[in-house]
Structure 1
Amino acid sequence: MKKLLFAFSVSSLMAGTASAQGSVTLYGIVTGNVTYSNNAQTAATSPSGKPKGGSQVAQFDSGSSGLASSRWGLKGVEDLGGGLKALFQLENGFSVNNGAIGQGGTEFGRQAWVGVNGGRYGTFTLGRQGDTSVEFVSPLIYGWYWGNLAIHPADYDNLNFTHRINNSLKYLSDSFNGLRFGALYSVGGVAGNVTQNQLWSTGASYTGGAFAIAASIVNARNPNTSLYGTNANASATGNNLGSAGSATAAESNPAIAGFASANTQQTISVAATYTAGRAIVGAAYSTTQFRGLGSNSSLNTLHYSGSTRLSTVSASLRFQATPFLRFGTSFDYTEGGSVNGKESAKYEQLNLGAAYSLSKATDIYVTGAYQHASGTDSLGRPAVAAIGYLTPSTTSNQVAVSAGIKHLF
């Protein structure tokens, strides 16, 4: 009897596997680098009223200052017949230095979604995923030329995919002669108020020969929760945009930390590239409005009201010198809007990067950035430089250099 049951179980499993006609792919990036910064805060305040610190810092990190962050994931597809396919993707971020889970301890914090592909009818997915700016605009701005040091201040426009969207339904079209489009909607999940924490986005891209262009709009209600508060370690009531720091802790994201009380955040972004031989020339523009400041009074410690914005104009050049060596440079100018009559902050940043391919899967690289800040930041303080995901400087200037290795599998 036991032998009969075992044989039945095995045959049932084999039949299920055969009929599914599916596949699962394991993939990932393992990367590590050493990063040098000429200036970093140790505390936000001092007897003189200026940030404390200012020392040089050299540290290991798991790609957060390099070309890409470490991750592993699973992709699955099953042919359902009639041109339909079931899809899923689970992606985990981690630190190669100590094995810690990224995205605030969220196990599949980078992506976790399931959906259906209908061929020429496009793809519908449901879960934790990127908005349309990440899907269409980001590929034309960022890449393996200068890395994470080159993000716009505090990644305020999310074009470097710092923030994922929970509880979201996304549609992406198939390509129609180079044209693609899509939309995303995330439900708020608040009883009695379906729009309180909702997020929606829409975007499109077109590629024709050497030219490519993309645009997107992202609108988040109560962005402190719906956009910045989507990781496992996010605060239910505190500031998820950043921190003013303290006598024992440095500032975090001073470009936007003071805007956590906004009722709505809306970002419009557009980018274009032109390929000429081995060179790619690019330009981009993004603008983010923080509307309804003061709507969350518990987060409005600076007593802001009305709205403000951050806008960035970018230009870039990428060049494939040989089949193995590539390099690039970009320049970003970011300007903030005034709030409560205070002077806005300005950030100017130059980025450089180079990578050499040891194989199809392994690169060694070096990236660098210089940023100069001026004016008054979101915390109502003299703006300090803050490159990438690094600790902000004590002054208006900061230089950072990162070198490392990246392996794909």
Structure 2
Amino acid sequence: MKKVCFAAAIALTPLLAHAQGSVTMYGIIDTYVEYAHGVTDSAGNSTNVFRTGNAGTYGSRWGLKGTEDLGGGYAAVFDLQQGFRLTNGTIPGGAGYAFARISTVGFSSPFGKLTFGRNYNLNACTADLDPLYQAQYSSSSLLFYRNQTFTDNAVTFASAPFHGVTANFQYGFGNVAGNFQAGKTFGAQLRYDGSWLSAVAHYDEIRDPNGALSNLWAYSREYIVQARVNYQSAGFYVGYTGLSAPDASAGSPTHADEGWVGVGYQFTPALYASTGVYHIVAGDAGRATLVAARAEYSLSKRTTLYLAGSYVMNSTHAEFAFNGIDTPTAGTNQFGTMAGIRVSF
């Protein structure tokens, strides 16, 4: 027995040494109660629904991240993050995912950070330049969350800021023998953050298992230009997202253009409110206008209450959802409102 314990102690020595570095557990818990009008039921009829839901602002998650100082401004880093649905305890992405949001390891340096593994697409770095922060009622609704994706097999580099400018690059390997385009993801982004202005220019493409750009909302090219101007307690937003899927099948949309304007205001240190107007034109998929607003009240540094509303107006043949999830019958307008709570740790 003593020999077994001694062997175990030797085996654990590297782990104990590593544990002396910086390792942090963190997370977000976000849930809400929602009323929605214009939702399609199982029989194809437009009706109303009253329900609980997940991720009114941010997806619920927990994670572990760590860093080990290597000297000279260099460090080894890792980040493991799993999402979950608070209402029923299930995992988005289904079975087989241990860390469905992030699973990365790499290095940080005075020049930036280089990581390997499943990561957020670079479009996640544009969320704070949307007046509704790409929450469930936001620019994401009309894009069916194309601007919120994850990249497998990724190599990601985020540069250190230089006079407020950062450059980010990402390449996701498809890992298909003989076809370098199959399942490939690529992204590049240039961003500026100053005292009164933040702006970003972004490009990415996500290819299907055959290497084609075949679905506007899943396998397509994405172009983003966004900006926020800060003036005292107010922020003024303007943005554009373009999607292109030249290989889409006949009858499916091959391009979409979404633009928006919005404003946010910090009324008190605890109370913040914002609103935005979003408009999309998507060829054969029609056009729609979405108006959304959100107010948040911080009970503490970790706990926030929020109230939000969204109204979408569809053209005759359009089927855009007020929340990007509940596809309505063609030409139907939708309305939804939610009250929620978010806790971070």
Settle same-fold status: TM greater than 0.5.
yes
Cα deviation for residue 196 of structure 1 reads: 2.2
Partner in structure 2 of residue 230 of structure 1: none
Partner-residue secondary structure (3-state), 1:152: helix
Deviation at 1:221, TM superposition (A): 2.3
1:278-297 matched pairs, under 5 angstroms: 278-294=233-249
Matched, 1:356 2:292: no
Q: Partner residue of 1:147?
A: 135
Contact 2:188 2:202 in 1 (8 A): yes
Shift of 1:62: 1.9
d(CA) in 1 for partners of 2:180, 2:256 = 28
What is the deviation of 1:187?
1.2
Alignment partner of 1:89 is 2:30? no
Q: Look up the match of 2:146.
A: 158
Partner residue, 2:171: 185
Give the SS at the match of 1:184.
strand
CA drift of 1:209 comes to 1.4
Query: What is the TM-score normalised by the length of structure 1?
Result: 0.77
Cα gap change, 1:173/1:385 in structure 2, threshold over 3 Å: closer, same or farther? Answer: closer
State the match for 1:320 in structure 2: 266
TM-aligned CA deviation for residue 30 of structure 1? 1.1
**Amino acid in the other structure paired with 1:347:** A
Q: Does 75-84 or 211-220 show the bigger shift? A: 75-84
Alignment check: 8 A CA contact 1:87 1:116 kept: yes
**Cα 1:388/1:151, change in 2 over 3 Å:** farther
Higher relative contact order (CA 8 A, sep 6+): 1
Q: CA deviation at 1:90?
A: 1.1
SS at match of 1:139: helix
**Change over 3 Å in CA distance of 1:373–1:89 after alignment to 2:** same
Q: Does 1:199 align with 2:185?
A: yes
Matches within 5 A, 1:94-173: 94-105=84-95, 106-118=97-109, 120-135=110-125, 137-141=126-130, 147-153=135-141, 155-156=143-144, 158-159=146-147, 161=148, 163-173=149-159
Question: Sequence identity of aligned pairs in percent?
Answer: 28
Number of residue pairs matched? Answer: 343
Q: Deviations over 1:257-276 (max 9, x none)?
A: 7xx7xxx6111101100111
Rounded to whole Å, the distance in 1 between the matches of 2:143 and 2:35 is 20
SS at 1:165 equivalent: strand
Q: How many angstroms apart in 1 are the aligned matches of 2:81 and 2:196?
A: 32
* In structure 2, C-alpha distance between the alignment counterparts of 1:57 and 1:224, rounded to whole Å: 39
Q: Is the 8 A contact 1:157 1:267 kept in 2?
A: no
Q: Structure 1 residue 396 and structure 2 residue 332: aligned? A: yes
Q: Does 1:174 align with 2:197?
A: no
For 1:140 and 1:275, locate their aligned partners in 2 and report how far apart those are by CA, in whole Å. Answer: 11
CA distance in 2, matches of 1:114, 1:155: 30
Structure 1 alignment gaps of length 5 or more: 47-51, 228-238, 242-255, 295-302, 339-343, 376-381
Deviation at 1:362, TM superposition (A): 0.4
Please list the CA deviations of residues 78-112 of structure 1 after superposition, one character each: whole Å capped at 9, or x if unmatched. 11223221111111111111111123343311111
CA contact (8 A) 1:198 1:226 kept: no
Counterpart amino acid of residue 62 in structure 2: W
In structure 2, the CA distance between the partners of 1:96 and 1:5, relative to structure 1 (3 Å rule), is closer
Write out aligned runs for 1:1-400 (5 A). 3=2, 6=5, 10=9, 13=12, 17-18=16-17, 21-43=20-42, 52-63=44-55, 66-105=56-95, 106-118=97-109, 120-135=110-125, 137-141=126-130, 147-153=135-141, 155-156=143-144, 158-159=146-147, 161=148, 163-222=149-208, 265-294=220-249, 303-304=250-251, 308-338=254-284, 344-375=285-316, 382-394=317-329, 395-400=331-336
Structure 1 or 2: larger strand share?
Answer: 2
Secondary structure at the aligned position of 2:245 is classed as strand
CA contact (8 A) 2:132 2:138 kept: no
TM-score normalised by length of structure 2: 0.90
1:269–1:286 Cα contact (<8 Å) kept: yes
1:223/1:10 CA distance change after superposition, 3 Å: closer
Runs of 4+ in structure 1 over 6 Å off: 223-227
